Each structure stands twice: as structure tokens, then as C-alpha cells.
Amino acid sequence: MKSYRKELWVNVPSRRGFVNITREVERCLAESGITEGLALVNAMHITASVFINDNESGLHADYEAWLEALAPFDASPQRYAHNRTGEDNADAHMKRQIMGREVVVAVTDGKLDFGPWEQIFYGEFDGRRRKRVLVKIIGE
Amino acid sequence: MKSYRKELWVNVPSRRGFVNITREVERCLAESGITEGLALVNAMHITASVFINDNESGLHADYEAWLEALAPFDASPQRYAHNRTGEDNADAHMKRQIMGREVVVAVTDGKLDFGPWEQIFYGEFDGRRRKRVLVKIIGE
Amino acid sequence: MKSYRKELWVNVPSRRGFVNITREVERCLAESGITEGLALVNAMHITASVFINDNESGLHADYEAWLEALAPFDASPQRYAHNRTGEDNADAHMKRQIMGREVVVAVTDGKLDFGPWEQIFYGEFDGRRRKRVLVKIIGE
């Protein structure tokens, strides 16, 4: 069994945003030399997500509005107990649970084994600083 | 290390529905000859889910109503920016994020290593056409 | 390829609660002797979750209130069809979908390959009895 590990760095200049990291993960896979196995891609931070969906800016705007309605940003200590600790990002911990921490992708014939529209995104919910995504690939 | 890959085809005749695919995944596992490892089962389409929960029709009706309340279907271009592209399925991309893209199941002694009530479902949120589920199993 | 399996038992004395299981999973990893691979940690019950987030009690109180708002407990047969079967836990099946069934964690140099704040939690939504978490690790 071979294994490969790499950290990708992301810096979203606003509080929230989505970044397509498919090409970076493909480069990792090429570098790994693994042709059959599983690739794990996960946010290393707990106010961010890695998820697979469509590369369409309208949909991303819809996600932004939808997540804000389900778990509104509110820095005040009234709404969220977490924000009584000096943090202001309780909402980000919730948004991340809806969008998910990680994806596991099949590796077949040296490629990410995707359906026609699958792309990997980093979802930032508390940005404006450098954060990491972990790519771990195991196989042969 | 052995690896196995199969695509399952699903065709839900209505826009939304849940299909129990546990037996098909068990057949894949038997076919693979793998007795220890991990099985990844994922929707290859971004308006569908694979998830593990109860095989109970009342619960499935509850999921349907609950998801519709959290992310209502609305084909008009007013509510969802994605539906200004000619699509009508923005809601389906949201429902899929709540229910998830994939499950990873332990394989032990040649079986899906499940608790007493775990069953694997395909969740369709934009149906009426043939779609695929990927089963990838790695192990020994 | 090596593989390792262990069931962890959890008993949350109230209906809902979060339990930090990071140390137990680390003990499993040490016991496995695996230094490179993937660790799957999943709830074996369909009204419970395993997820990765912050070890902060205010945030856990926020999750509790947020999940209760998104999928309220209601034992009556009016709101949830599932609760016409004699069950009272339809809400728990929904809360579990938001928080997720499982996490997959990279194993590197014999450690759970975590960012600075990642901790593994068991999320109970229908407690007051013993339940199981499955830890399956594969690698070398």
C-alpha cells in the first residue's frame, strides 16, 4: 500500500467564500503515483468545509444566502453562547456542519473517479486568514 | 491491496424519492472478494445523496417534508440565482448537502459492518432520468 | 495491508448530548499499530452522529438549540409520520443527518492527522441507553 499526504493552503479575503480546489487535488493525485484507492480531502479547521457540488456562481450565491438564513452570523453574545468566549464565529461552526468537513473520492486508473459535474470546493465561513486543507491518498 | 469498482444505475420516476440500495451494495461486496477494508458509496450526481438511515416509509415522508421546508422547490428565477441559468433544481443542490454525498462503510469478515438498523439509501432530489451511484471497495 | 476494528460503547443519560471520544479513538489507533492509512469512525445507530468540531461547551449548547429549532422534538403523531409507528424519535433521525453519521480521518506517522482544534464527538439525539461507535482503521 502506498500513502500520500499534502496540505493545501487557502486564504479567502472575505469572511465567507467558496474556492474550487479540484485542480490542486488532481495535482496531488498525479504526484502520489497512486492509481487505485481512496482520496480523503478535509478541512483542517472547524469553521470551514470541503464539499463536492457544482461549479456555478449562481448556486454559490444561493448557498451563501441559504446558509446565512439557517445559521445567521451574529457576533453579539446574545444569540450564541460560543460568542460569549470572545469568539464571533458560532455561525461558522454551524454552516460547516451543513456543508460537511470532508469528502472521500474514489481513485480509479489514476483519476478522481467523478460523475460529469462533480468538483471539489473549499467552503470558508470565517476567513481573512490562511487555512489548510489536508489531502490524504491511500492505495496502489 | 485489492480494489473493486461498480456503477449502480437508478431511475426515480418522480422528482424526489428514496431507494434502498443495501442489497446491491452487498452484492458488489460479495463480487469483490474483499473481506477487510472500506467501501465508499457515493452519488455521481450533484442533486442526489447517498445516506444511511432507517428503512421506514413514515420517516422517509418526514424527510421529504422536512427537506422541502428547509430548501423549497421553486423553479422561478426569483428565489434562486441558480435557476436564472435555465435550471430549476437549485433546491436539489441544497437538499443533497443536508443528506450528504457519500457514505463510507467498514468491511469486516466479508460483510458491511453495520449496526442493527443501518441501511443504505439513494436520495433523489431531481429525478425522472437515469443516474449513477459509484461503489468503490478497497482492502484485502 | 493491516486492518483494525473496535466498538466503543457510549451511554448518554439524557435524550441528547455530546461526548468527546478523541482519546478513545487515539487509543484504538495506538492499539492497531497502523502508522499510515485511514480511520473511519461511525455511529452504529441511526439516531446518533459522529462529527469533528470544537471542544467548547458554549458551542455545544448552541448546537443543541440550533438543531432543536431545525428539527424539533415532538413525540405526538401529528408532526412526524415516523412517530405514528410507536416511536418518538423522528427528530433524532433528522438531527443526525445534519451532524453526519461518520468521519474519516487521515492517519500519518501513527497519529490522527488533525488541524489544531479538531476533536471527535459522539452526538446523541435519542439517548438513555447504551449505544455503539465503530472504529475501523486500515493501512500499514
Q: How many CB atoms lie within 10 A of CB A20?
A: 12
| Alpha carbon distance C134, C4 (integer Å) | 11
Question: Which residue type occupies B101?
Answer: R
> Which tens digits make up the pLDDT trace of B103-139?
999 999 999 999 999 999 999 999 999 999 999 999 9
pLDDT for res C85? 94
For residue C70, list its beta bridge partners. Answer: none
pLDDT grade, residue B100 (50/70/90)? very high
Per-residue pLDDT of B36-90, as tens digits, reads 999 999 999 999 999 999 999 999 999 999 999 999 999 999 999 999 999 999 9
Query: Using a CB-CB distance cutoff of 8 angstroms, which residues of chain C are in contact with residue B38?
Result: 38, 40, 136, 138
Contact by Cβ (8 Å): A59, B93: yes
Contacts of B33 (CB under 8 A, 6+ apart): B2, B4
pTM beyond 0.90:
yes
Cα C53–C122–C74 angle (5° rounding)?
105
Q: Which residue has the cell 449513477?
A: B132
Report the phi/psi class of residue A104: left, alpha or beta, with left for phi > 0 and alpha for psi in -120 to 50: beta
Our CA-based measurement puts residue A56 at a distance from the nearest CA of chain C, in whole angstroms, of 24
| DSSP-assigned beta bridge partners for residue A106 | A38
One-letter amino acid of A59: L
**pLDDT tens-digit series, residues C34-90:** 999 999 999 999 999 999 999 999 999 999 999 999 999 999 999 999 999 999 999
pLDDT at residue C126 in the model: 98
**ipTM, 2 decimals?**
0.98
- pLDDT value at residue C62: 98
**Three-state DSSP class for residue C12:** coil
Which residues are registered as beta bridge partners of B135? B6, B41
Is residue C21 within 8 Å of residue C131, measured between CB atoms? no
What integer pLDDT is reported at residue B32 of this predicted model? 98
pLDDT value of position B83: 97
Q: Does C88 touch chain B (CB under 8 A)?
A: no
Q: Do residue B54 and residue C43 have CB atoms under 8 angstroms apart?
A: no
Across residues A49-78, what is the average pLDDT?
Answer: 98
- Least Cα distance to C133 among C1, C6, C4 occurs for C6
The mean pLDDT value of chain B amounts to 98
- Compare CB distances from C44 to B63, B118, B138 and report the shortest one's residue: B118
DSSP class of residue C74 equals: -
3-state helix, strand, coil in chain B (%, to 5): 30, 35, 35
A93·C53 Cβ contact <8 A: yes
Burial of A69 (0-12, 13-18, 19+ CB in 10 A): exposed
In angstroms, the separation between the Cα of residue C129 and the nearest Cα of chain A is 25
